[in-house]
Structure 1
Amino acid sequence: MSAPPSRPPGDEVLRLKGETMGTSWSVGAVAPAGVTETALLAVIQPELDAVIAVFSPWEPTSEISRFNAAPAGVWALSQAFWTVLDASMDLADDTDGAVDPTLGALVDLWGFGPPGPRIGSPVPPEDEIAAALSVSGWRRLRLNRDARGAVQPGGMKLDFSGIAKGHAVDRVSEALSRLGATSHLVEIGGEMRGLGVKPDGQPWWIGLEEPPGAPSARTVAALVDIAVATSGDWRRAFEHEGHLYPHTLNGRTGRPIDNGVTSVTVFHASAMTADSWATALTVLGAEEGLALATAHGLAAQIVVRTEAGMVEHLTPAFVAMMDEEEA
């Protein structure tokens, strides 16, 4: 039986919110005596700014933009860049490329990157898809661990949209803990991490994101020393000739996913890991994704659109978590 969470460091929940990475963020934190909202923001904002400075392809001077524009060669990376890239490559290996950090050219091609939506037909022609695929693929990216560097083969564009928000959540959470605000809930664009409990002893209760039209009641979960991430096809997508094209791309085909998966939710101690696994399971689909998530002991929910309506698939760890909260 796990030990109960420690008493929070104060008697009040301080709340802050703002915008970052093209989305919103919010924090509820129980801070030690004397720590104000201004002090909390002073540790939160630098972490958010640092993530943008490293991982935002919308910023032309960011580290990822510089790598993407670099000529062929070995390029040294910052520790933050290396940590996220290394984690992405490990998961690419575990999922046979369902998470692939090298799909930036395809992201741009399909209108989801910094260049914006395509002019004319939103669906690119086959030859342009093939050209983008030719400079993509996680197996083509080589890492130099001794130099903490990556080999730019020429023309490759990295993209961390499936992991960056979770990484930012973890960074903010860790910064708050260093300040002494060890009980908190951090949320960035729907990805969340909760540590400790509130002053009244209650956990950080959150409602899981549900796809539009979901028939079931919204699931409520307690975040105590755990993170949750949801990948959904309604967040960023376009419709063309009656077909939905979500922003999650399948690196094997060079196209947006078309497997019926509308929503994937994953719980994990790390928001970055939960975020990346949610993307991977979305690409893999219900059958393959559920089997792999179960094999890795993940608490995951996969929702699929079918002709009969939405069907929910749960891993054993997810079911056990829900049973524990209802007990």
Structure 2
Amino acid sequence: MSAVSEPSALALHSLGGQTMGTTWSVRLAAAPSLDLHALHARLQGELDRIVAQMSTWRDDSDITRYNCAVAGQAQDLPDEFSTVLACALDIAERSGGAYDPTIAPLVDAWGFGAHAAAPRVPDEETLAIARAHVGWRRLRAAFAPPRLSQPGGLRLDLSAIAKGYGVDRVAARLRTSGIPGALVEVGGELHGYGIKPDGQRWRVLVESAPDEEADGARYPPRVVVLDGLAIATSGDRWHHFDHGGTRYAHTLDPRSGRPVAQAAAAVSVIAADAMQADAWATALTVMGTRDGHAFARARGLAARFVTRADGTLEETMTPAFEARLAA
């Protein structure tokens, strides 16, 4: 082991910035003399490239070009876009469509999209039209070389997976830059590897619902150790609106075209990479606590659900998640 990788020779540094409509941050263990400005530029560059490819908020992004393409038009995909799309299609299939990267028409119909003025409840005709243009099985993708064809009217939205991928790319860049340990966060999604200067692994508090935080006596804070692992959390804590006395989650069920009914306050997933954790957190939220927990348990997914029932909170964890809790 080199001298600079010994815990006693390392210092704790912090970096951060803006990306994907949110913030990113890194805490890293490295030599005190590390050039932080150069490293920050490399990390921001990784995230900027993802935005340039997958942001529906940019008119010049690769995803916008695809969404605006006419039927029969094909375009080559950058490697990063191809990686995310391949993962998205895999999880779409494995989740039975609970996660669907072609959900953009529904996102727009409910007023959640990049160009929407405000959330709204669409009429049945608007919803039917949007649903007719959703379906991941219609995607015509090739991966050797990466190429995507537009069947007509299909539009992608990768917002439920791109942040996680951004975490993974930053972590990968840190590793190739010789950083022996880091905790990476983009919009609440986390990945940790290596050790801190004090020799300890990265311990993080699992995100929770506001009412869970106010009732800490019912369930203790849940802490996990991220040693080459990632965690992502979804739920209506972050995105919802109220209309006519009804609370609507921003998480949409691609199968029904409507917001998830009685969405969990928080669904957290631990995985080897943040891209999968991010997408699975969304898929399990869509499935609902009962079906989502059964699905995750049967497949060995590390998942935690926090739901509201009769004014109180209920916590459910799979054995794989419980096994990851810090002692």
What TM-score do the two structures reach when normalised by structure 2? 0.93
1:91: Cα distance to partner?
Answer: 0.5
| Range that drifts further, 162-171 or 221-230 | 221-230
Give 2:115's aligned amino acid. Answer: P
- Distance in 2 (alpha carbons) for counterparts of 1:150 and 1:17: 33
Residue number among 163, 166, 170 corresponding to 1:165 in the alignment: 163
1:42: Cα distance to partner?
Answer: 2.0
1:58 is matched with which residue? 57
Matched, 1:228 2:227: no
Give 1:130's aligned amino acid. Answer: A
Give 1:83's aligned amino acid. Answer: T
Give 1:223's aligned amino acid. Answer: L
Q: Is the 8 A contact 1:302 1:314 kept in 2?
A: yes
| Range that drifts further, 211-220 or 277-286 | 211-220
Residue number among 140, 143, 168 corresponding to 1:142 in the alignment: 140
2:88 is matched with which residue? 88
1:155: Cα distance to partner?
Answer: 1.4
Matched, 1:263 2:266: yes
State the SS of the aligned residue for 2:262: coil
| Range that drifts further, 60-69 or 239-248 | 239-248
The residue correspondences of 1:37-116 to structure 2 (distance < 5 A) are 37-73=36-72, 74-116=74-116
1:7: Cα distance to partner?
Answer: 4.7
Q: Is the 8 A contact 1:170 1:270 kept in 2?
A: yes
1:76: Cα distance to partner?
Answer: 2.1
1:220: Cα distance to partner?
Answer: 2.1
Runs of at least 5 residues in structure 1 that lack an aligned partner in the other structure: 1-5
- Distance in 2 (alpha carbons) for counterparts of 1:220 and 1:288: 25
Q: Is the 8 A contact 1:9 1:181 kept in 2?
A: no
Q: Is the 8 A contact 1:9 1:182 kept in 2?
A: no
Residue number among 165, 176, 179 corresponding to 1:178 in the alignment: 176
1:211: Cα distance to partner?
Answer: 0.9
1:127 is matched with which residue? 125
2:293 is matched with which residue? 290
- Distance in 1 (alpha carbons) for counterparts of 2:130 and 2:293: 30
Q: Is the 8 A contact 1:281 1:289 kept in 2?
A: yes
What TM-score do the two structures reach when normalised by structure 1? 0.93
State the SS of the aligned residue for 1:163: helix
1:166: Cα distance to partner?
Answer: 0.2
Matched, 1:313 2:311: no
- Distance in 2 (alpha carbons) for counterparts of 1:232 and 1:286: 11
Q: Is the 8 A contact 1:9 1:31 kept in 2?
A: no
Aligned-residue sequence identity (percent) comes to: 45
State the SS of the aligned residue for 1:278: helix
- Distance in 1 (alpha carbons) for counterparts of 2:323 and 2:144: 42
Matched, 1:29 2:28: yes
Matched, 1:244 2:247: yes
1:217: Cα distance to partner?
Answer: 3.6
* CA deviation vs aligned residue, 1:90-142 (integer Å, no higher than 9, x gap): 11110100110001111111111111234xx8211011011011111112222
Query: Where do 4+ consecutive residues of structure 1 move more than 4 Å?
Result: 6-10
* CA deviation vs aligned residue, 1:41-93 (integer Å, no higher than 9, x gap): 02111001001101100010000011000111233211111111111001111
Runs of at least 5 residues in structure 2 that lack an aligned partner in the other structure: none
1:277 is matched with which residue? 280
State the SS of the aligned residue for 2:84: helix
How many corresponding residue pairs? 317
| Range that drifts further, 30-39 or 42-51 | 30-39
- Distance in 2 (alpha carbons) for counterparts of 1:152 and 1:305: 41
